[in-house]
Amino acid sequence: MSIPEKLKKVYEILEKPFAGEPLTMEETELLWGLEANSPEAFLLRCAGLRRALELSGGVAEIHAQIGLDAGPCVKNCAFCSFAKCNNPAGELKITPMAAVLDYARAFREAGANLLLLMSSAAFPFERLLEAAQRVRETVGPDMPLLVNTGDVTFEQALSLRRAGFNGAYHASRMSEGVLTDIPPETREQTMKNLVRAGLPLSFCVEPVGEEHTARQFAEKIALHLEYDPLTGGVGRRIPVKGTGVEDRRKLDQAEQARLIAIYRLLDGKTALAGSANATLAANSGANLCWAECGFNPRDFSGRTETDGVGRSVEYIAKIYAETGWELRNGPSPGWNMTTAR
């Protein structure tokens, strides 16, 4: 049987990262343009998985997110259910503190490796500090606690650190400044502030839609890697009904898996990459996934774990079990667990 030339060419490209050679933009564009269920794309997904196993030692994690509020957020990201532009008459909706603590306890008992408190830019900052302190008292000193909130100054980042956070999720999103009211420079300055305050970063290149290019994708990865994040990854855009992007096409599972595999070949440093929210994704190199509860920017539920898009720790653990990943037992390592002064 003769092997088609294109398959041979893709194979040669895919071997480069394993030999320590970066992909060129032209090669990245070729991979980006592969039909998602073609033989070449299957080869790509296989390389993504191999690379992920090599970088991580075969260990996967589940990070658990608690949504603290649902805006309305004046930053107006068109893809977000919290945005004021998608909630013209909305009032600030907040998860009660008792519920936040119940969620934190339940996630810890379910075996989550890390907790993440997520708030919109409309959430009162003092309340975010209080939430960190209360959750810390509830889950003990060894559970990494991350914050995902609006853009912050260096002084605010220091306050977050002192309140008990051990890291932060932050990203300059795809189409930042176009589909959002936030200049990309503001997001980058926040990442600098967070890292300088002692909060290592978690990020994801998201939300990816079909209008985005290989170059934009590769540039976003390179930008975030400058901050030495502990986790990376890629997420497709969910066109939530009732938001400004509801008419855009959602990339399918095979396209998302292709993105993950390309991500894995472009980022040779980060051991954990999301999002392993389906077996196809986990089997293409994703070994990080977020369990979600409370408010979620990808639905209008308020209890995303019951009638929204949120997934449980148990659901994600099953994905890993079915795809050969070993789920870490215990806290996610590497975060800044020292006591801040």
Question: Which residues contact ligand SF4 (rule: CB under 6 A)?
Answer: 71, 73, 75-77, 80, 82-83, 120-121, 150, 180, 297
Nearer to ligand SF4, 121 or 257 (CB): 121
Least distance in angstroms from the C-beta of 98 to ligand SF4: 23
Least separation in angstroms between residue 95's CB and ligand SF4 is 14
List phi, psi (to 5°) of 147. Answer: -115, 140
- Which is closer to ligand SF4, CB of 67 or CB of 331? 67
- Give min distance, CB of 283 to ligand SF4, in A: 29
Closest to ligand SF4 by CB, 28 or 87:
87
Q: Return the structure tokens found at 59.
A: 């260990």
CA 251 distance to own-chain centroid: 17
Q: Please name which of 236, 229, 177, 226 lies closest in space to residue 205, comparing C-alpha atoms.
A: 236
| Nearest distance in Å: CB 73, ligand SF4 | 3
| Comparison of 169 and 320: residue with beta carbon closer to ligand SF4 | 169
In angstroms, what is the minimal distance from the CB of 177 to ligand SF4?
A: 12
Both structure tokens of 21 = 């050679």
Residue 279 CB, nearest approach to ligand SF4 (Å)? 28
Nearer to ligand SF4, 148 or 256 (CB): 148
Q: How far is the CB of 238 from ligand SF4 (least distance, A)?
A: 12
CB of 208 to ligand SF4, least distance (A): 15
Evaluate whether 117 touches 132 at the Cβ level (below 8 Å): yes
Q: How many residues does the chain have?
A: 341
Q: How far is the CB of 80 from ligand SF4 (least distance, A)?
A: 3
Question: Which CB, 14 or 80, lies closer to ligand SF4?
Answer: 80
Label each residue of the chain as H, E or C.
CCCCHHHHHHHHHHHCHHHCCCCCHHHHHHHHCCCCCCHHHHHHHHHHHHHHHHHHCCEEEEEEEEECECCCECCCCCCCCCEHHHCCCCCCCECCHHHHHHHHHHHHHHCCCEEEEECCCCCCHHHHHHHHHHHHHHHCCCCCEEEECCCCCHHHHHHHHHHCCCEEECCCCCCCCCCCCCCHHHHHHHHHHHHHCCCCEECCEEEECCCCCHHHHHHHHHHHHCCCCCEEEEEECCCCCCCCCCCCCCCCHHHHHHHHHHHHHHCCCCCEEECCCCHHHHCCCCCEEEEEEECCCCCCCCCHHHHCCCCCHHHHHHHHHHHCCEECCCCCCCCCCCCCC
Nearer to ligand SF4, 180 or 312 (CB): 180
Measured from the CB atom, the residue of 66 and 80 that comes closer to ligand SF4 is 80
- How far is C-alpha 125 from the geometric centre of its chain's CA atoms? 22
CB-wise, 44 or 122, nearer to ligand SF4?
122
Tokens linked to 198:
């002692």
